[in-house]
Chain A
Amino acid sequence: MQQHCDPEDLALLALGEPVDPACSEHVSTCSECSADVTELRQVVSVGRASGGPEALQTPPPRVWQAISEQLASEPVPLKRPEPAAPRRRWTGLVAAAAAGILIGGGAVAVITGQDTPETVVASAQLAPMPDGPDRGGSAEATLNRTDAGYTVTVKASGVAGPEGFYEVWLLDPENSGLIALGSIAAGEQEATFPVPDGVDLEAFNAVDVSDEPLDGDPTHSTVTVLRGTLET
Chain B
Amino acid sequence: MQDVDVAEVGRQLAAGDESALAEAYERWSRLVYTVALRSVATQADAEDITQAVFISAWRSRASFNPEAGNVPGWLLAITRRRIADHHRKRRDEVPLDNAPEASHETPDITDQVSVADEIDELGEPAGQIIRLAFFDDLTHQQIAERLNMPLGTVKSHIRRSLLKMRARLEVTHAAAL
Contacts and interface: CB of A to CB of B under 8 A. Distances in A.
Contacts of A55: 34, 112-113, 116
B162 A40 contact: yes
Nearest to A49: B112
B87 to A, nearest CB: 20
Most chain B C-beta atoms within 10 Å of own C-beta, residue among A40, A50, A64, A71: A50
Interface in A204-219: 211
Most chain A C-beta atoms within 10 Å of own C-beta, residue among B119, B140, B162: B162
A3 B21 CA distance: 50
Contacts of A66: 51
Nearest to A66: B51
Interface string A33-66: 0000001100110111111110111111011101
B103 interface: no
B144 interface: no
B16 A222 contact: yes
Interface string B103-139: 0000010011101110110000001001101110001
A17 B140 contact: yes
B176 to A, nearest CB: 15
A221 B16 contact: yes
Contacts of B165: 43, 46-47
Contact of B31 (A48, A56, A134, A163): A56
Contacts of A129: 62
A48 B162 contact: no
Interface string A85-104: 00000000000000000000
A77 B61 CA distance: 11
Interface stretch (B65-73, B75-83, B88-96, B151-159): B151-159
A50 B116 CA distance: 6
B120 to A, nearest CB: 4
Most chain A C-beta atoms within 10 Å of own C-beta, residue among B108, B115, B152, B155: B115
Interface in A99-156: 129, 131-134
Nearest to B31: A56
Nearest to A221: B16
B159 A8 contact: yes
Contact of A48 (B60, B108, B135, B169): B135
A12 B158 contact: yes
Contacts of B60: 131
Contacts of B120: 53, 56
Nearest to B159: A11
Interface of B: 15-16, 18, 21, 25, 29-31, 33-34, 37, 46-47, 50-51, 54-55, 58-63, 108, 111-113, 115-117, 119-120, 127, 130-131, 133-135, 139-140, 152, 155-156, 158-159, 162, 165-166, 169
